[in-house]
Structure 1
């Protein structure tokens, strides 16, 4: 069983806050530990927001406690009546995450059976210790770089399988592939975007994330691959153009990587389209439908490559392209 960083930080922060409250000789020092437990969050941004919500809710709770307990009395029914008024106010102030935290303070104040200025001051010190300790502990957030890179590698591995399986199907009409890699890619993308969001929340001053655009790009490419499959299934078997398209899919599979070499394959796709245009006109309805599917497939492949081309600056310079063109002449 893996112990997460949030568990470790809770285990460290709770005794620290309780110890500080004990050293200061505060009443209800255990409450400082409870506040710390409630304020430990999975990211720095959520931790800061949580601290603000809980602090404001505690302040409002203290005001309500003074009004209800001192004016009406110390009775369990009064607690219920106060909560009926208090909770809607927290909703209005948009600090509902602080309801549980403020309830700790409410019960502390109720148990005192008398509210003096010194006791109220103690409660605010407990709030500051509990929430402050959680904030300090939450300053450390483990890097998610390794996990994001792992998701990237997994995604590219399955993209290669999908493209190679498409090539195999076009060549041999191999129907053994069940397409499970498409679903696996969707799961990886969802997990990856959750990690990206968490990592962004850990860097409060970062507006953009290097992996965000990458996984968005792959998500769009996956949608296009899913649109290609019905078209691929309608291609004729062992047709000359079909074989060339199968070879092209195989090249795309070998070229799946974080870099951007899409421009090379767009040039090759244009050559493939010209070859396609030079083919004799279809004579039967079946040939016409096949030609239409081929045309649509080439269009989807072009969109697939354009998505990658727009993702980042090309890794292929104009000089390399000219040299490649000369070698092909």
Structure 2
């Protein structure tokens, strides 16, 4: 049964029904409006629901009071309702409370159709608003476990990085690119974009505090993907295989094997420093072509180092 409370459609339907029942039990006029407000107040995350509720309460209060004053002084007819909208809409935009624009306009029409406008209507409309928002907030407390979904996406991203770097280690030697490479990059970028949305929603489900770990994690993987793209560009210019290339290929393979969430990459960075010293001790290039290829290999090594440092800094800051 609990799983149904996490479904947005179910939450909308049940919260609207309960809101209408409560409004009817209190003998409120236009009780169906409480159900409509409940539907509009059901959100994807707790933090967004709270923000929307606050903006909607302010907007509807302004709408009710403004309608009351205008209809009492000028009369309740369609022309005055138009004047109400001319005043009310700019106010919601200025105060950034557009979430309450439609609800406020609907509540105003209740007064517009009333033959006896008095203070009772202010209480009636405010009560409808509070009932609808309150019932929706109760259901907003039950949200899907986005952390579990994020974990699945995270593992898929890490597996994609392993495949990409493993393929790179082979390409360094063979100078051939897998036919599925472009599709792999596209799918990886798609996974990252989807995970960004989930990470933001996870953070927005914390009302009294923030949890930026998931956002920071996906930002880290995004920066690493940018680095991988730079590394990939070097392949377009490689045209010879040297001893240094073979060594770098093996190291790239090692990096691929070590891609997982909690690895701080310290050992790999130390190994990379040793590799750089080994390169420096090797015999100098004999030809211009060998020199250019050696320079590209060093640039590839530098980018690989940046890839590892990005992960190390993430671990240190979280």
TM, length-normalised to structure 1:
0.90
Structure-2 separation of matches of 1:274 and 1:55: 66
Counterpart among 246, 251, 263 of residue 249 in structure 2: 246
Maintained 8 Å contact 2:167/2:178: no
Structure 2, gaps ≥5 residues long:
none
Paired residue secondary structure (1:112):
coil
Cα deviation, residue 313, structure 1: 4.7
Distance 2:116 2:236 in 1: 79
Measured after TM superposition, the shift of residue 4 of structure 1 is 6.7
Q: CA deviation at 1:209?
A: 2.8
Aligned partner of 2:169 among 160, 167, 170: 167
Q: Does 1:180 align with 2:183?
A: yes
Deviation at 1:220, TM superposition (A): 1.2
Shift of residue 261, structure 1, vs aligned partner: 4.4
State whether residues 5 and 142 of structure 2, in contact with CA within 8 Å, keep that contact through their aligned partners in structure 1.
no
Equivalence for 1:297: 300
Change (3 A) 1:230 1:119: closer
Q: TM-score, normalised by structure 2?
A: 0.93
- Shift of residue 74, structure 1, vs aligned partner: 2.1
Indicate the residue corresponding to 1:193 in structure 2: 196
In the alignment, is the contact (CA less than 8 A) between 1:260 and 1:313 conserved in 2?
A: no
Match of 1:221 in 2: 224
Question: In the alignment, what sits opposite 2:206?
Answer: 203
How far did 1:210 drift? 2.6
Deviation of 1:17 after TM superposition, in Å, equals 0.2
Count of aligned pairs: 313
Coordinate RMSD, CA, aligned: 1.9
- Give the Cα separation in 2 of the matches to 1:93 and 1:266: 51
User: Structure 1: 5+ residue runs without aligned partners?
Assistant: 315-329
Partner of 2:82: 80
Q: Write out per-residue CA displacement over residues 36-74 of structure 1, whole angstroms, 9 at most, x where no aligned residue.
A: 111111111111111111111111111221122222222
Worse-matched range after superposition: 23-32 or 174-183: 174-183
Q: Secondary structure at the match of 2:113?
A: helix
Partner of 1:17: 19
Give the match for residue 66 of structure 2: 64
**Distance in 2 between the 1:156 and 1:37 partners?**
39
Work out the CA distance in 2 between the residues paired with 1:193 and 1:244: 36
**Counterpart in the other structure of 2:50:** 48
Aligned in 2, Cα 1:267/1:6: closer, same or farther, shift over 3 Å? same
CA distance in 1: counterparts of 2:178 and 2:132, whole angstroms:
59
> 1:248-284, CA deviations, whole angstroms, 9 ceiling, x for partnerless residues?
1111111111121411111221222122112222232
CA displacement at 1:129 relative to structure 2: 0.8
1:321 counterpart residue number: none
